[in-house]
Structure 1
Amino acid sequence: MTKEIKELTDKINQFRDERDWRHFHQEKDLAISISLEANELLELFQWQSSKETLATEMDNLKDELADVLIYSIMLADNLDLNIADIIESKLQKNVEKYPVEKAKGNHKKYTEL
């Protein structure tokens, strides 16, 4: 785990622990919270273009994205997963699923390439 991610995780856990919220943050609860916050992020784009949303909702976008990331970090910490390692692993899987020569400029799912 990088120093920055470890420091962020510690800050998040300190905030949680000072409020005695650990028992509310089981894996199921965190997964639900990630989904709920992601939907709040998505809602900011509803009924307008990306350009309009970015022009009017940047502060809210930052907050909702931060919520998604905070809950994701908490879930990874609960599961004792190294965020850098799992991202590197997933990127490698994506490299294999989406070879440049087939995927470049193409939006198709890997099963359709």
Structure 2
Amino acid sequence: MNLDELTARLHAIRDHNDWRRFHSPKNLAMAASVEMAELVEIFQWLGEDESRRLEPAQLEHAGQEIGDVVLYLLLLCSELGLNLEQVVRAKLADSERRFIAPEASA
């Protein structure tokens, strides 16, 4: 996945529709949250096992909402001057240190 290419394509859509004025970090964070809520809604009344076996239409819908969340986060990173790949790699490294690093005292 080339994040620079995706960001450029998102910026082209944004600029073509004159949406830049709406793309403040606050608005983008809220939009990502709304899309995440739409993803959560797919699973709202499903049991644990059902949530692992979505019907094809549900799975497609989940993919669309996941895409929306990721694209808004990519736009948010762009507005904040953050590199999404670097942010994710740093967080993953932190989680690896915290959750799979050997115990200091055994």
Aligned length: 100
User: What CA distance in whole angstroms lies between the structure 2 residues aligned with 1:17 and 1:54?
Assistant: 36
| Residue 87 (structure 1) shift | 1.1
User: What CA distance in whole angstroms lies between the structure 2 residues aligned with 1:85 and 1:51?
Assistant: 30
Partner of 2:63: 62
Matches within 5 A, 1:14-53: 14-48=12-46, 49-53=50-54
Deviations 1:60-84 (A, max 9, x none): 1111011101100000000111111
SS at match of 1:53: coil
TM-score (norm 1): 0.80
TM-score (norm 2): 0.85
Identity among equivalent pairs (%): 32
Deviations 1:13-52 (A, max 9, x none): 1001100000111000011111110010010011122144
SS at match of 2:45: coil
SS at match of 1:10: helix
Is contact 1:44-1:53 (8 Å) kept? no
Higher relative contact order, chain-length normalized (CA < 8 Å, sep 6+):
2
| Residue 56 (structure 1) shift | 3.9
- Name stretches of at least 5 consecutive residues in structure 2 with no aligned partner: none
Give the root-mean-square deviation of aligned CA atoms.
1.7
- Name stretches of at least 5 consecutive residues in structure 1 with no aligned partner: 103-113
Partner of 1:94: 95
Amino acid at match of 1:7: E
Partner of 1:105: none
